[in-house]
A and B are shown apart, each in its own frame.
Chain A
């Protein structure tokens, strides 16, 4: 389930980046209210991106990055202490 959610957000990120430039308006010189239509699209799209990012921070923050999702894994999962004891350079 978590994996599916991660793939979903990845797709959202790709779509957000992919349409920041309105490719379907390529070559169009249509002007609306004093600005090129493609610029309005971009402005609106970035506003939308901000809203999507906000929703992401509320609902899915940590997905794909945080690895410690359950309290129990903290107890035996974090083996960095043992590792640092037997090797590896300290910062």
Chain B
């Protein structure tokens, strides 16, 4: 019963998304700017929720509550700091500047924005290449996640490969048809859906167990979880919490599918409203979903090894149809992040690699076609890799946030410091990427420095190298230093 119901709800969601995509398709111009950025027309609610749904993926529902179950609810603080505050501030500092530059010069990708300022095709290709290196395994992780979830859900009736394949095929179809506009619309539905179901789930479970007092008392009375309520632990050290919040917060801002949304706002007002509402939106989602995970531990809900906490606690305290609905929402969350990643991955490939290095005279109409072909290639390749399950790719996917975070400071410096030179930013990006990659794969380079992660140390390294190399080099003659500083902001 529950399997049929869950599958029914998932299929229902997919069909609904397809309808939204088809409506969006009818409103889409055949240009790359419209396909990638919905022609920079997103309104407040749509921008807010599409960024929200893209950012949060399945972590909020699966991995996050699992960690809260195992280690206590302090992750809420990390999430609040990284997403609610650091990302929001970067949304202004990096995002608003990018938006202004995008309005002025028509940029669609980060690489384009940097390549133009530093008059460097190589820098543009480098940024795109690094982004794709981290993005590709991350897309793969989503496919693996969806394939595994479908297999578990149907108790093996739909094998892993078929499940992952179906999700991939659907995403390709959807992204190719709908483009940014359709994705943003379904994300909006999805973001609202996630918020509502999480709160209903919280209230339902609390009503069943006698309120938050009883749930927390249960947590405090057990010997093994008594320390959950006190702030900090051997797992949650200050260094670890800060490292995690800072690297992920900065990493998110450089994630292609999130960074590209910086260009897509319809107006300044949209940006302002989204910015002010952002911290509240984050708290509204993180507190209930992570507290459910933590409370589950005190309520003696037995979690089979390898299982996710949230589905089990929902199955215990709420009706089957509701639990199914939340799980369908979580699956859809996974897809709503992946479809945006595919779209952005395709734009980086087309705009920053294919066009500058292969065919500089690409016409707009052909670029639109190539963009869609790019989605198919990118998704199919990630699917192929997800069937092979190479361990290296998994490590890359897991490390993606810190990998993207390495880009953030050189970009930030370039945006705000006139003296940044082409050599400086290139050296900063290359050094910190090499350092971070070696910390992952070379035993000689440690992953932790007095409690601080290699991710945050690498960010510092990128900062120092960018500044120092910029100071000792002179700008190349064709660099366009003024474009980030003059004439920005006038209506």
Tell me which of A31, A49, A62, A67 contacts B220 (CB under 8 A): A31
CA of A90 to CA of B76, assembled, Å: 44
Set of chain A residues within 8 Å of B416, measured between Cβ atoms: 64
Q: Which of A29-68 contact B (CB under 8 A)?
A: 29, 31, 33-36, 38-39, 42-43, 46-47, 49-50, 53-54, 56-57, 61-62, 64-68
Bits for B402-439, please: 1 = Cβ < 8 Å to A, else 0.
00000000000000100000000000000000000000
Tell me which of A27, A46, A67 contacts B486 (CB under 8 A): A67
Tell me which of B81, B105, B278 contacts A53 (CB under 8 A): B278
Tell me which of B112, B216, B273 contacts A31 (CB under 8 A): B216
A29 touches B230 (CB 8 A): yes
Shortest distance between the CB of A90 and any CB in chain B (Å): 7
B383 at the interface (CB under 8 A from A): no
B456 at the interface (CB under 8 A from A): no
Size category of the binding interface on chain A: 35 or more
CA of A84 to CA of B213, assembled, Å: 65
Tell me which of A17, A46, A83 contacts B480 (CB under 8 A): A83
B212 touches A34 (CB 8 A): yes
B223 at the interface (CB under 8 A from A): no
A78 touches B229 (CB 8 A): no
A3 at the interface (CB under 8 A from B): no
Shortest distance between the CB of A17 and any CB in chain B (Å): 5
B488 touches A53 (CB 8 A): no
CA of A69 to CA of B489, assembled, Å: 8
B64 at the interface (CB under 8 A from A): no
Tell me which of A20, A22, A29, A83 contacts B84 (CB under 8 A): A20
In the complex, 29 of the A-B residue pairs with CB atoms within 8 angstroms, ordered by the A residue number, are A16-B89, A17-B86, A20-B77, A26-B238, A27-B231, A27-B232, A31-B216, A33-B213, A42-B80, A42-B283, A43-B287, A46-B80, A46-B85, A49-B85, A65-B96, A65-B100, A66-B488, A67-B485, A68-B490, A74-B490, A79-B486, A80-B486, A88-B478, A88-B479, A88-B480, A89-B115, A89-B116, A91-B106, A91-B108
Kindly list 8 other residue pairs between chains A and B, CB separation below 8 angstroms, not including A79-B486, A89-B115.
Answer: A17-B81, A20-B84, A46-B80, A46-B283, A54-B276, A77-B487, A78-B486, A83-B482
